[in-house]
Structure 1
Amino acid sequence: AKNKDTVLLGEKIYRAGIAAKQVPACAGCHSPNGAGIPAQFPRLSGQHAGYVEAQLKNFRYDAATPRKNSAQMTPIANRLSDQEIKALAAYIQGLQ
């Protein structure tokens, strides 16, 4: 049940964000099914959970070495707990 709860938390964050933390819904930019918007917001669906988790954690430290999308993602990643990042990664891995 633990994994199911993790995925459900990830789905909630992906679809609705976390208003109290000013975290927008991921679906707003990356689309509800994770397809993204070519050349603007990368596709997320089908990415391995470990990769997504690492990328979100890396965005926390991008102030030192900015990369594409750092402006949007660094503040968001800094507002997410490790548990929330893990939940998002678990949910995104299952997107089709």
Structure 2
Amino acid sequence: MPTQPRTANVKQPITDDSIKVRHLSHYQFSWTAQEPGQAGVLTLQLVLDQGAWEEVLTVSAEDAEVLRGLLAHGSDVAYDVGRRVLMFGTTPVAHG
């Protein structure tokens, strides 16, 4: 009796909610005014997989500055939806 080839056991169907890591297509920083005398709120909107998914993150001014620099120079940025982690490209071993 011939043996069956082993295949990955992938839950079906694959839905938008089952995709855990998405690629960043576009981003936009926004500032929203609050009540008089209160600090405004900075947000970062992530448009992922050409609009298939969007995420809005509230960020501090310091984080916004760092993220703006990273995003301006990153050509391959991914976002882990479940862990809420931005990942900036990859570097091969021995190139660090």
State the TM-score, normalizing by the size of structure 1: 0.28
Rg comparison, structure with higher value:
2
Which is richer in strand?
Answer: 2
Whichever structure has more helix as a proportion of its residues is: 1
By relative contact order (CA 8 Å, sep 6+), the higher-ranking structure is: 1
TM-score when scaled to structure 2? 0.28
